[in-house]
Amino acid sequence: MDDLLTVEPFGFFSRDALRAGWYLVWRQLIRVVPLAVGAVLIGGALSGLGMGILGAVVGGLGLCAASIWGALLIPRLASQWAVAHYGYPLTGQARVWWAIVWRVTIVAFIAALILTPLIAVATSFKGSVLGTLLTVVLGLANVAVAVLATGWAMSRVTAMQLSGLPVALLPLEPAPIVSEPTPLTSPAETVSFEAPVAVAAPAPLTMPVAVAAPAPVAIPVAPPPAEPAPQPARGPAATEGKRQCPKCGLYETERGSVIGWYCTICGWRETRR
C-alpha cells in the first residue's frame, strides 16, 4: 500500500507562516507595484499637459488592471509554493483564491478592531515624536499581520487539498542496463582451417597415389564484447548544489522542506521512512 501524504497547517504566529506569506507577498508586489506606479505617473503626466480627463481614465484603468493582476497571482503563487515544499500543485484557482482571501480578510478585520484604540492614540499625538513613532509601529504591525495571515491561509488550503494523497514509492536507484547477447551466426564472423582427411590405401610402388584436397570448415567465432555506452559529461556548473535523479539521470532536481529531493522532469521523489 502506498504511503499517504500528511500536511499540517502552520500556526498563525510562527516562522513558517511568516516565510510562506512573504513568499507570496513579495512575488506579487514586484509585479503589481510597477504597473500601478506606471499608470499613476502616466495619468499625472497627461493631466499636467491639460488632458485631465484622459489622465484620470488612464490612471484608473492602470490601477484596476494592477488590482486584477494581483488577485490572479494569488492562486498561481500559492500553487508554486505548494510544489516547492510538498511536490504537489494546488488545483482549482478560483477555490484557492477564495479560500485564501476570506481568511486574510477576517484576520485583517480582527486586527483593525484591536489596533483601533492605538490608532486613536497616535492621532491624538499628531505632529509629535511619539505620534510619529506610534504611526510607524502600527504600520509595520499591519504589514506583519497581513504577511502572517497570508502564509497561515496558504498552509490551511494546502493541508486541505494535499493531505491524504498517495505518495508513489519509487526505486532509490535505477535498474542496471543489461545488453542482450549477440547471436553467433553471422556468416562474416567465420574462420577456415584445413582438416585432415583419410588417405586411400597405398598402391603398388610403381603407381603414383592421388590425395584429395582438404575441404575448408567454417566455425563461428564470438564477436568482441560490446563496449559500454559512454556516459554524458556533467559540468560543475550543472551539478553544483543539485542531486542526480536516480530515475532519469538528470540534474533537474529541487529540494522541498517536507518531501526532500524530487525531479522536475520525470517526477521522481525521495522516499523518507
Residue 151 and residue 253 in one domain: no
Residue 146 and residue 62 in one domain: yes
Does the structure show a pLDDT above 80 at 46?
yes
At 188, the pLDDT band (50, 70, 90 cuts) reads very low
Q: Which of 107, 133, 167 is where one domain is finished? A: 167
Does the structure show a pLDDT above 80 at 121?
yes
Per-residue pLDDT of 86-118, as tens digits, reads: 888 999 999 999 999 999 999 999 998 998 888
Work out the percent of the chain whose per-residue pLDDT is above 90: 36
Residue 26 and residue 104 in one domain: yes
Does the structure show a pLDDT above 70 at 167?
no
- In angstroms, the CA 55 to CA 63 distance is 12
Tally of structural domains, the chain: 2
Residue 118 and residue 8 in one domain: yes
Residue 249 and residue 122 in one domain: no
Residue ranges in the chain assigned as alpha helix (H): 15-48, 52-86, 93-124, 129-162, 236-239
Q: How high does pLDDT run on average in the chain?
A: 77
Domain assignment present for 44:
yes
Residue 149 and residue 52 in one domain: yes
Question: What confidence score (pLDDT) does residue 250 get?
Answer: 80
Residue 157 and residue 27 in one domain: yes
Q: Cβ contacts of residue 122 below 8 Å, gap of 6+?
A: 131, 134, 135, 138
Q: Which of 148, 167, 186 is where one domain is finished? A: 167
Q: Which of 167, 202, 224 is where one domain is finished? A: 167
Does the structure show a pLDDT above 60 at 19?
yes
Count CB-CB contacts under 10 A for residue 10: 22
Residue 22 and residue 111 in one domain: yes
Single out the residue of 40, 29, 39, 124 nearest to residue 74, CA to CA: 29
Question: What confidence score (pLDDT) does residue 199 get?
Answer: 47
Contact between 110 and 148 (Cβ < 8 Å) = no
- In angstroms, the CA 94 to CA 72 distance is 9
Would you state the cell numbers that stand for residue 54, as one nine-digit string? 484622459
Q: Cβ contacts of residue 180 below 8 Å, gap of 6+?
A: none
Question: What confidence score (pLDDT) does residue 172 get?
Answer: 36
Domain assignment present for 228:
no
Range of the domain at 89: 3-167
Contact between 167 and 87 (Cβ < 8 Å) = no
Per-residue pLDDT of 128-162, as tens digits, reads: 888 888 888 988 999 999 999 999 999 999 999 88
How many CA atoms lie within 13 Å of 66's alpha carbon, on the beta-carbon side?
19
Q: Cβ contacts of residue 18 below 8 Å, gap of 6+?
A: 144, 147, 148, 151
Who has greater pLDDT, 264 or 16? 16
Per-residue pLDDT of 219-245, as tens digits, reads: 655 566 555 444 444 555 456 667 788
At 214, the pLDDT band (50, 70, 90 cuts) reads low
Query: Dihedrals φ, ψ of 55, to 5°?
Result: -65, -40
Residue 137 and residue 247 in one domain: no
Domain assignment present for 215:
no
Question: What confidence score (pLDDT) does residue 153 get?
Answer: 95
Average pLDDT over residues 63-67: 93
Does the structure show a pLDDT above 90 at 193?
no
Domain assignment present for 149:
yes
Domain assignment present for 136:
yes
Domain assignment present for 217:
no
DSSP strand pairing (166-167 vs 3-4)? antiparallel
Residue 11 and residue 136 in one domain: yes
Does the structure show a pLDDT above 90 at 253?
no
What is the residue type of 268? W
- In angstroms, the CA 157 to CA 17 distance is 13
Domain assignment present for 143:
yes
- In angstroms, the CA 232 to CA 251 distance is 12
Domain assignment present for 203:
no
Q: Rounded to two decimals, what is the model's pTM?
A: 0.56
